[in-house]
A and B are shown apart, each in its own frame.
Chain A
Amino acid sequence: MLSERNPASPASEPERAAVERALARLSAEPQRSDLLPLLHALQEDLGWLPLAVLHVLADRMHLPFPDVWGVVTFYALFRLDPPHGTVVHVCDDVPCRLRGADTLLHALEARYGPPRRFAGDAHGASTDGHASPVDWETVPCLGQCDHAPAAIVAGRLRRQVTVEAIETAASAKGAADA
């Protein structure tokens, strides 16, 4: 039984259903080479990759769980903790830094607290004790150097981004979620 192997966090029914939905998009039985596409599909569906979901996926793919874990943790775009608020990836690489990313980073930190630095980082609690509406981290070059500084805000690319634009996107998301 899966729950015996991973007793701490058995997958919920919706999580199991998400795995089945992802698998149903394949035309045949899942191969190992389907792993990254499946992880992308699950993350798009759930917003992150809960541990229990990875266990179910490994089981359904007949892969040892450590293999799946090793892959998931290798790639920066896969997220192992639930995001709070609007997810923002801010480029802080050389070309963006030369054109204002450093100012943007300082402004974001002042407004939303320190960036998330690793999975499970206790980030984003703002000084007044409330969870920050923006869950942000820095990322290497996004390949938008001709429109620096760049960021991906709630899955959407933003060029020549400002802290105001991020705030607007976050409050729009907050209103939509409310």
Chain B
Amino acid sequence: MPEMRRLLARVGTVDPESVDGYRRAGGYRALAATVERGSEWVLSELEASGLLGRGGAAFPAGRKWRAVAGARGRRRVVCNADESEPGTFKDRVLMEEDPFAVIEAMTIAGLTVGSEDGLIYIRGEYQLATERIRQAIRRAEDAGFLGTDVAGSGRAFRIQVFRGAGAYICGEETSLFNSVEGRRGEPRNKPPFPTQVGLFGDPTLVNNVETLCNVPVVLQEGAAGFRRYGTDRSAGTKLFCLSGHVERPGLYEVPFGTPLRELLALAGGVWRGRTLKAVLCGGAAGTFLGPERLDVPLTFEDLGAAGGTIGSGAVIVVDETGSLWDVVLRVARFFQEESCGQCVPCRVGTQRQLEIVERLASGRGTPTDATLLREIGAAMTDASICGLGQTAAGAVLSALALVPGVSA
């Protein structure tokens, strides 16, 4: 299956600083249709499209939008652009190269769920993305696509840019709210869910950048058109970030269902003619897949059944010469450093996990270490408040199966 550039259609071909260029390339037609046809049309198209969230959790986008649209009082729209999953850079590329698409999608969301207040939370390290988004907001305001009368609808929508300050946890939606509110970015207990009690206590629609960029595609092509690519349960296309030991690291868009092997081939395969040792699929919060899993179709359902995850779309390739222990050690250290420390299973679990991995990696492992890792992993997965702790053991445990001698 070849590349299918729907989300990437304008990336590298249209000037990301020009609102006119964006319009000539099809931009703002979905917003015009939204103004003309109304919220119910948007919601039903989105629900029928089967669009699932692209930030890692794969929640049905239409259901989220419907919940916020049905809420009372002041509502908010938040774009989660705190992309910090190791090996992930898709949202950065979208914001840098197609910023108006992000802005248009947020505006559609605002009109649809009845919100006048948009906020985009961009990780602090993404300078160019922040500049491009800020500029796009100004130009959209000047062109009448943001402000007190959005595209002649008579309705208001504004977007505020908020800079993160270096905390992986703030990609978790309730941590993000706390961060915006001037607090430590620690997650909140759910329920209540953001659609009920979100930013500043108001019902809030939170979507990842890539999820939002799918919305204008859905509205322009219709739900059925959107579903021409992908599978029944994983509709549309997906951005994958290829990195590590591949010939051409970069961002690739393919229909869901494309086998991992073909995705790797698009990036030129394993570099320097070497053979594959493993792929870390989904970033630090993801899982390792060995060479025998290359034929797995990249869908939420197939990867889930294989014990893996699409996650954020990170695909990190390790060749035969690479050290899996080095990778696992870095992942374990990552979680130990990024755990916010609020809940015990994650705070203690990520620390103990790191200590055991250090022991195993240096050849000083004990016969019970693999069992201990599984028990700690189970405790973190079951009892942590948020996704960070719940996914902190996935990569480590999946690596055990690939390393001879420690899987006992």
A binding-site residues for B, Cβ under 8 Å: 31-37, 39-40, 70-71, 74-78, 89, 92-95, 97-99, 102, 139-148, 152, 155, 157
Contact = CB atoms under 8 A, between A and B. Distances in A.
Interface of B is mostly: mixed
Contacts of A33: 180-182, 200
B182 A146 contact: no
Nearest to B126: A143
B168 A140 contact: yes
Contacts of B245: 98-99
Nearest to A34: B182
B123 interface: yes
Interface stretch (B49-57, B222-230, B330-338): B330-338
Interface stretch (B60-68, B158-166, B257-265): B158-166
Interface in B205-253: 241-245, 249-251
A76 B283 CA distance: 20
Given A39-B165, A95-B87, A157-B127, A148 B184 contact: no
B241 A145 contact: yes
Contacts of B250: 146
Contacts of A139: 125, 166
Contacts of B123: 143
B80 interface: no
Contacts of B181: 32-33
A77 B331 contact: no
B244 A40 contact: no
B128 interface: yes
B45 interface: no
B284 interface: yes
Interface in B295-319: 314, 316-318
A77 B244 contact: no
A95 B245 CA distance: 8
B182 A35 contact: yes
Given A93-B330, A94-B327, A146-B243, A76 B89 contact: no
A36 B166 contact: no
A66 B184 CA distance: 12
B334 A140 contact: yes
A71 B167 contact: no
B86 A140 contact: yes
19 contacts: A33-B181, A74-B340, A75-B185, A77-B166, A93-B86, A94-B87, A94-B280, A95-B244, A97-B330, A98-B317, A98-B318, A98-B322, A99-B244, A141-B283, A143-B88, A146-B242, A146-B251, A147-B249, A148-B249
A141 B87 contact: yes
Contacts of A144: 89
A35 B384 CA distance: 28
A73 B280 CA distance: 31
A76 B340 CA distance: 12
Contacts of A102: 326
Nearest to A157: B127
A102 B326 CA distance: 10
B85 interface: yes
Contacts of B166: 75-78, 139
A124 B245 CA distance: 32
Given A146-B250, A148-B249, A94 B163 contact: no
Contacts of A143: 83-84, 88-89, 92, 123, 125-126
B183 A71 contact: yes
A31 B180 CA distance: 11
Q: 9 nearest interchain CB pairs?
A: A76-B166, A35-B182, A75-B165, A145-B243, A77-B166, A95-B243, A32-B182, A141-B86, A98-B244
Contacts of A155: 127
B179 interface: yes
Contacts of B290: none
Contacts of A157: 127-128
Given A32-B183, A97-B326, 12 more contacts: A33-B180, A33-B181, A36-B162, A75-B166, A76-B167, A77-B166, A78-B166, A97-B330, A98-B318, A98-B322, A141-B86, A152-B125
Contacts of A35: 182
A123 B200 CA distance: 40
A101 to B, nearest CB: 10
B74 to A, nearest CB: 15
A62 to B, nearest CB: 12
Interface string B175-200: 00001111111000000000000001
